[in-house]
Amino acid sequence: MSTQKIKDEFRKAFGVTPKGIVAAPGRVNLIGEHTDYNDGFVLPIAIEQRTLAAWAPRDDGRVVFASLQQPNKCDEIDLCTAIETGQHAWGNYCRGVAAGLIENGIELAGCNILFDSNVPLNAGLSSSASLEVATGVALLAVCGSESSVKPHLLAKICQHAENTFAGAPCGIMDQSISVMGQANHALLLDCRSGQTRQIPFDAPNTVLLVVDTQVSHDIGDGGYPARRKQCEAAAEILGIPALRDATEEMIAQAVAASKISDLQMRRSRHVVTEIARTLAAADLLTFKADGYLQKFGELMYASHASLRDDFEVSCPELDTIVDLAIPRSGVFGARMTGGGFGGCAIVLVEENHAESVTQVISDGFKKQYHRRPPIFATHPAPGAMLIE
């Protein structure tokens, strides 16, 4: 995916040369899954796969969205009328961002925007957040307001767009890392306060492998909303604002008193232990004591087991990838990443073992499922930016 390609395609689509190009990355969550909507902590990185948005102004007060991934499905809004959901599902992410910017006092200008992306769709790598953030940065660039919306607010606007216009009940993590990611860093995000801390993720001679099961992942499906409701119900029974405030002792006492069901206990236990693992992982990466990558890997494996057993959001394909990675030389850790029910697993590995580990996982997966999973290597990348 190149800037020259999107320039050429923009000229074909709109008959003019774009005035600017922005980029917004997808993300991988290193650890801290299903903790964001429980007011907990997450530790994602921005990845090198991203969405590009080329733009040029127009003078009729309309915004036209087009995507190379959605041929013949252009979407269009009139800035003089209220913005509502449209007929194209992909365009609703963009519409929601435009509406959110207007609600926050930004006077948008008419423009054409063309998107191109190499973030895999429905793989748990936040292709939707990448699209939303690219939309927001492009719309702000058109009207010369790039610095008028703070990063935290832009992330909230994009999250609200996904919740309301696309109907997906995501937390704030995906949009936050796409906006605020830094090269060679992970982002420790407190999903209650919104406070962030850049955590070094720059171990030399290591690489993160991303393995796509190609099992469809859509957080608007029933599994994700059901988990969210189960967590909210458990918090209400425990008498706390969110499961971030729970402790293992509190959960044990509620079980002993028959206040919560076994399912609610397991959902709560995952959230409490996953928050603890996330904070421990951030400390390991920050202080880099001897053996810190091995200990970080142990947290990854424990996280996957909890997601598989207590939260029940893994799937056989994800479990297979993690199982194939566990005994391999050069592997520090592996786990599913994203909302689950498919999507991707990640494997933290020594760079000089990456090729052999990739081959082992690919061969083992093919033996069991009769197809090879797409696998790519990535490093922590910068967040959204103006390219040209």
Instruction: Say if residues 49 and 26 touch (Cβ distance below 8 Å).
Output: yes
First-to-last C-alpha distance (Å) of the chain: 15
Q: Cα–Cα distance between 340 and 228 in angstroms, integer? A: 13
Query: Closest Cα partner for 132 from 169, 86, 106, 101?
Result: 101
C-alpha distances in angstroms, 44 versus 126, 238, 303?
11, 29, 14
Beta strands, E only, the chain? 20-31, 41-57, 62-67, 75-78, 111-117, 185-190, 196-200, 206-212, 331-337, 344-350, 375-378, 385-386
Q: Name every residue whose Cβ is closer than 8 Å to that of residue 305 and which is 6 or more positions away in sequence.
A: none
Is the separation of the CB atoms in 184 and 45 below 8 Å? no
If 0-12 CB within 10 Å is exposed, 13-18 middle and 19+ buried, where does residue 220 land? middle
C-alpha dist (Å) from residue 353 to 22, 47, 208, 209, 357: 34, 20, 11, 11, 6
- The 3-state DSSP class for residue 169 equals coil
Q: Other C-beta atoms within 10 Å of 152: how many?
A: 17
3-state secondary structure of 198: strand
Pairing of strands 111-117, 62-67: parallel
- Side by side, the strands of the sheet bearing 331-337 are 331-337, 344-350, 206-212, 375-378
187, β-bridge pairs:
198
The catalytic position among 174, 221, 323, 363 is 174
SS3 labels along 311-374:
CCCCCHHHHHHHHHHCCCCCEEEEEEECCCCCCEEEEEEEHHHHHHHHHHHHHHHHHHHCCCCC
Catalytic residue list contains 174? yes
The residues assigned a catalytic role are: 174
